[in-house]
Structure 1
Amino acid sequence: MDPKFVLLMAVLVTVATGKSDYVRPKPRKNLQFPWDSKPSSQPKQVHISLAGNRHMRVTWITSDKHSPSIVEYGTSPGKYNYIAQGESTSYSYLFYSSGKIHHTVIGPLEHSTTYFYRCGREGPEFQLKTPPSQFPVTFAVAGDMGQTGWTKSTLDHIDLCEYDVHLLPGDLSYADYIQSLWDTFGELVQPLASARPWMVTEGNHEKENIMFLEDGFQSYNARWKMPFKESGSSSNLYYSFEVAGVHLIMLGSYTDYDEYSDQYSWLKADLLKVDRKRTPWLLVLFHVPWYNSNRAHQGEGVSMMEAMESLLYAAGVDIVLAGHVHAYERSKRVYNGRLDPCGAVHMTIGDGGNREGLAHQYINPQPHWSDFREASFGHGELKVVNSTHALWSWHRNDDDEPVRSDQVWINSLVSSGCLADKRPGPRKILMAP
């Protein structure tokens, strides 16, 4: 067929359908990892996470069961003025036995400071940078990561971002019962996760429960310990933390959330503790989106939304970040299915690089609350500039080049007059004893 004719037909179809010239990329194959020849005592899968005010949790794994859970650290390369002793755990899953999983909290640390550290008294030196104490602060956001070629592309693009904390709303390794994939995922993300704190919550691919044989979330809880105790939570599946002037709440889509649940009670108590003078921005993350105009996973977040949305609205949550749907979508401010200037902006970013491919079928016409949607792999960046303004941008992985396809300024609800106790109903629900 004449190439000119093919090109003409493509142009006519594009004009007729009103679509852009963006071609959605196909899924990429899973990454292949070489055999690990490191000594059994050398730290592997190193990652860090925030652990309360001015403290950081360093996590790593060794094959040697006798390796110490010690972190040496300081502000100069090779000079460790401080030492911290931590704890360790391990787990077995069917025929798999994990290595020794070390968790060591270091601090107190200075804000916006680079520290050099070594795990277990041997192995390579790592370095991390602590988040700032005040605005501006930048978050990199990517969910549903997996271990594919697109995952690698997303990580490479995030590495180019000047960010302070990585947020991941569920579906990390896509191990799905094959426990060795948790190990390869840990190695894959180590270059980034050892340098900036990764704050994660669980998704459906973290469940891994086998009826009568294995409980759910064993590997996730053992490997990715978050500051739940520091935030008064009884479960690693939901917790909160603060960075600069932002209070962040990580909720669990796959643990009980009705009004009689522990998670609901904890959320209510945590929201009541938020001081909007100290932390004017309030963000919430969980896995299953409440506002989703994609045909994939349609309606799966309804029950959690019915249980908890009024609490978030009453507290004046600014932004909600979710994953699960393998596409990007940004809403306008919305509450109870209707546009509301005091509602939250909902972002779906479940397309970090999973092996299942993109969810490209959307419901038409586009709902009134949906502002931008696109099936693409990529990551988001949220730069909270000050107490009133934040800049959100979505960066798609287009032919391995980062392309910013969506950007918007967001005003905080604190600056919009929405927290002056003028709203009826939901605010009373939050404040009720």
Structure 2
Amino acid sequence: MASQVLLMLGLAAVGQAAKGVKNNDPVCRGSETAPEQLHFNYAGDRGMTVSWNTASKLQSPAVRYGRGSQLDKIAYSDVSVTYPTSTTYSNHVFIDGLEPDTEYTFSVLCAEENDHYRFKTSLPAGNPRPYTFAYIADLGTMGSLGLSDYGQSDALSPGEITTMQSLRDFKDEFEFMWHNGDLAYADDWLKEEQDGFLPNTTIEGGAAVYEAILNAFYNEMAGNVTMERPYMVGPGNHEANCDDGGSGDYTESICVQGQTNFTGFRNHFRMPSAQSGGLENFWYSWDYGLVHYIQINTETDFLGAPDLPGGSADENAGPFAPNGTQIEWLRKDLASVDRKKTPWIIVAGHRPWYVDDAQCDTCQAAFEPLFLEYGVDIALFGHKHFYERLSAIANNNPDPRGLDNPSAPWYIVNGAAGHYEGLSSYDTPVANYTVKAIDTVYGWSRFTVHNCTHISQDFIASGNGSVIDSATLYKKHDGCKF
């Protein structure tokens, strides 16, 4: 059966087919095919990709779905993929022809009878309804395999609410979540052993620890938020290889096949690159209401990229496309934005070039000229494990108008979500373009798109849900009618 094909069945046929998307189907084999790590993401205005993992391969992953309680449609695919060292298969089903801004109920193959979930499709481009989204970066595994309340310099206080739990508590207030790189921190397994946080094992045994951390993270995320809100992701350096680019006397050469070159990241997600002309989960875009969102890849595939051979990060990952492909795609994508429908453009990339710490100068050289040429409004980054709200900036100079209708993008760095490595300290004195810096609190960003002239950002302290920094950008967009 062709990959990602939607079958719109008649009611009688659906009734029969639906029986085959339950745990009592002959293809379902108990724990071998029981779904876990459920998540879903936008795939165009009228599409959604539903993804989950199973211990064994599914020959034909399937999703039942429908409006209300009627799961009267079914979508199939043949995408059930794995890689060496993985203990699961990633299953992906693309559903098309959905009504925009509409809630659907769904269930996946081999789920229990009453395991029904809901997703809401994308708000059509140009729809002026206000909404909120959550933004995170550098969020890793929690508990016994990651950030916990013991064994680390930046450990959680006993009983402290984590960022995952905070997102769960606030999920009714945001419509989707954007995770801009550095996901599970599975590549910290060696560091955790060297620190005495995890028991020592062999290099070969470390491959199993790496996979255990990945699985724990995706299950934790599903249990807290990704089963209920769309989850958009981008690449960070911690997705590249198994050992954080070298820990102690080791380098990426200790990584076994399947734990190099973003392999797990490439298997686990299916971001909307097909709908936006992008590449896999590395670079893509989507529209939502008054905003055109763009995910870029600051790790590979541009001149001087950190993870390419000879780059500063020593990961030796990529490239994934011919030289210049990502930059050319970004230029075309920016040029194609209909600013009358989506007056706002927000871009996210993992490594920042404006930050009060080591900067990615090659990232700046590659991307900033396009940001300025095409009027990007907001640029979001992570990588640095603190929160830093900057001014609007162009060519290293803060815009004199600040956030009052600036001509340059507004930059925000937020890598304070929390993971085994903990928080970092920013340098002092801060740069002349830094407005607010916080390096003592785990947290995430809440963005509210009010209309075509105002967007607000709040930094939420995960531990208690308080807003500890807030600012609003005003932009006078041409043709703004709302």
2:167 equivalent among 158, 170, 181: 158
Which residue number in structure 1 is paired with residue 220 of structure 2? 188
Deviation at 1:92, TM superposition (A): 2.6
1:70 equivalent among 62, 65, 70: 62
> Which amino acid is 1:145 matched to?
L
Structure 1 Cα separation of the partners of residues 137 and 347 of structure 2: 14
**Which residues in structure 2 correspond to 1:29-178 (within 5 Å)?**
39-66=31-58, 68-77=60-69, 79-93=70-84, 96-123=85-112, 124-133=115-124, 134=127, 135-148=129-142, 149=148, 153-161=162-170, 162-176=173-187, 178=210
> Cα–Cα, structure 1 residues 97 and 407, in superposed 2: closer, same or farther, change >3 Å?
closer
Percent sequence identity over matched residues? 29
Structure 2 Cα separation of the partners of residues 156 and 307 of structure 1: 36
Residue 401 of structure 1 aligns to a residue whose secondary structure is coil
Matched, 1:309 2:368: yes
Residue 179 of structure 1 aligns to a residue whose secondary structure is helix
- The Cα offsets for residues 15-35 of structure 1, whole Å up to 9 and x where unpaired, read as xxxxxxxxxxxxxxxxxxxxx
> Which amino acid is 2:93 matched to?
T
Matched, 1:199 2:232: yes
2:350 equivalent among 277, 287, 290: 287
Deviation at 1:69, TM superposition (A): 0.6
| Contact preservation (8 Å) 1:41, 1:67 | no
The number of aligned residues is 371
| Contact preservation (8 Å) 2:57, 2:81 | no
| Contact preservation (8 Å) 1:144, 1:323 | yes
Give structure 2 stretches of 5+ with no counterpart.
Answer: 1-28, 143-147, 149-155, 188-206, 243-251, 305-322, 400-405
Residue 160 of structure 1 aligns to a residue whose secondary structure is helix
> Which amino acid is 1:357 matched to?
G
Deviation at 1:152, TM superposition (A): 6.1
Which residue number in structure 1 is paired with residue 249 of structure 2? none
> Which amino acid is 1:199 matched to?
M
| Contact preservation (8 Å) 1:342, 1:413 | no
Which residue number in structure 2 is paired with residue 14 of structure 1? none
| Contact preservation (8 Å) 1:379, 1:394 | yes
Structure 1 Cα separation of the partners of residues 279 and 60 of structure 2: 27
Which residue number in structure 1 is paired with residue 432 of structure 2? 368
Deviation at 1:353, TM superposition (A): 1.3
> Which amino acid is 1:190 matched to?
A
- The 10-residue stretch of structure 1 (378-387 or 388-397) with the greater mean CA deviation from structure 2: 388-397
Structure 1 Cα separation of the partners of residues 390 and 329 of structure 2: 27
Give structure 1 stretches of 5+ with no counterpart.
Answer: 1-36, 418-433
Deviation at 1:336, TM superposition (A): 0.6
Residue 230 of structure 1 aligns to a residue whose secondary structure is helix
| Contact preservation (8 Å) 1:169, 1:203 | yes
| Contact preservation (8 Å) 1:318, 1:413 | no
| Contact preservation (8 Å) 2:283, 2:295 | yes
**Which residues in structure 2 correspond to 1:209-228 (within 5 Å)?**
210-211=252-253, 214=257, 215-228=260-273
Deviation at 1:165, TM superposition (A): 1.2
Deviation at 1:131, TM superposition (A): 3.9
| Contact preservation (8 Å) 1:284, 1:319 | yes
2:453 equivalent among 388, 399, 422: 388
Structure 1 Cα separation of the partners of residues 330 and 267 of structure 2: 23
Deviation at 1:67, TM superposition (A): 5.7
Deviation at 1:62, TM superposition (A): 1.1
- The Cα offsets for residues 135-164 of structure 1, whole Å up to 9 and x where unpaired, read as 312110111110124696212222233111
Which residue number in structure 1 is paired with residue 327 of structure 2? 264
Deviation at 1:311, TM superposition (A): 0.5
| Contact preservation (8 Å) 1:338, 1:369 | yes
Which residue number in structure 2 is paired with residue 229 of structure 1? 274
Structure 2 Cα separation of the partners of residues 318 and 142 of structure 1: 19
Deviation at 1:121, TM superposition (A): 4.6
Deviation at 1:91, TM superposition (A): 2.7
Which residue number in structure 2 is paired with residue 330 of structure 1? 389
The structure with more strand, counted as a fraction of residues? 1
> Which amino acid is 1:390 matched to?
I
